[in-house]
Amino acid sequence: MKKFKYLLTASALLLLLCSCSKDIKNQTLTGTTAVTTEENSIALTTQAGSQLNTQNQTKPENETAPTAEVLQAGSGAAVLGGGKTYTGKKALPLRSFKIEDPENTRGLSEKLNGYGYGVAKDGKANEISVNNQKYFDSKGFNALSLDLKSNDKALYLTFDCGYENGYTAKILDTLNQKNVTAAFFCTLPEVKENPEIIARMINEGHIVGNHSVTHPSFPTITRTEMAQEIKGMDDYLRTNFGYSEPYFRFPKGEYSDCAIDLVGSLGYKCVFWSLAYSDWDLDKQKGADYAFDTVTSRLHPGAVILLHAVSPDNANALGRIIDYAKENGYTFKSLRQYGN
């Protein structure tokens, strides 16, 4: 009897070792969203509060089915009480993301590019911004750095919101007074910590853009991890705000051809910029007049303007900047209008 018990124990240990070996072989992150691997693609599917099972794959004879990967589900499972959202809108169902070519077998460049745009002057975009847009277009990338399509003096006002510094409400007040819509590219911590402000952006007609969950440098992570960053943010907005729009901005402005391709394949437009200044450094704020002079001196038709909502200078100068632009024939457009 004792010998039989030892045999059972040995069998159980062997099964445990096989299981551990399989877990080590498969890439597994915390969370419970199943990812189905197909030929050169992975389908990310999440459902709030549930785990999806890996689907069986159809495979040709003598060929082994690809290994399934398990990825973090994202943050969309945290529904407000009673199914309510911060905006009062109905929660949206979570999207399934299909990751094309997760291993980058096509060999798209993974070189990290720090985004440069050049300083515009005399009402003309810098050549760097012009060439950026031409490059994106030539590659078929769904990316915008400068509007080369509009015939009018279009401006696109965008803000990056990594965290709150007490000035976003004032910026929203000004935009409401001036009847201008903007895009706010937010990280997940900003959205979680300031839901009332995010709800106000949405309900007042602004775009809340996807700026990732953890603000990583996208060229340094895998295509699957990129999709996870975008999906985690989208899940949370859908569940807690009843909202989603397909606009993305790379954290730190760092990108690669591979990263732009991945983001575009998920249905998002990568939004860069052609006008910005060092407004993000809170130790070097130089006053509202400096902000006004800097931004207005660099205005040009088709400009995508990047400002940071943490800057008191921007908050205090924004109304004057908008008035000046309108007086000089510029029209503020939403990113939704680009290409129309």
Point out the residues that are catalytic.
Answer: 160, 308
| C-alpha span between 36 and 53 (Å, rounded) | 9
Element (H, E) at 128: helix 127-139
How does DSSP assign 195-247, residue by residue? HHHHHHHHHTT-EEEE--SS---GGGS-HHHHHHHHHHHHHHHHHHHS----E
Look at residues 174, 172, 181, 178 and name the one whose alpha carbon lies nearest to residue 200: 172
- The single-letter DSSP state of residue 275 is B
Q: Say if CB 335 and CB 147 are below 8 A apart.
A: no
CA atoms within 13 A on the CB side of 239: 24
Buried b (16+ CB within 10 A) or exposed e, 225-249: bbbbbbbbbbbbbbbbbbbebbbbb
Total residues found in the chain within this entry: 340
Q: Which residues contact residue 15 at a Cβ distance below 8 angstroms, ignoring those fewer than 6 apart?
A: none
Element (H, E) at 33: strand 33-38
Tokens 């905006």 belong to residue: 87
Look at residues 325, 254, 251, 316 and name the one whose alpha carbon lies nearest to residue 289: 316
- For residue 317, the one-letter residue type is A
| C-alpha span between 248 and 335 (Å, rounded) | 11
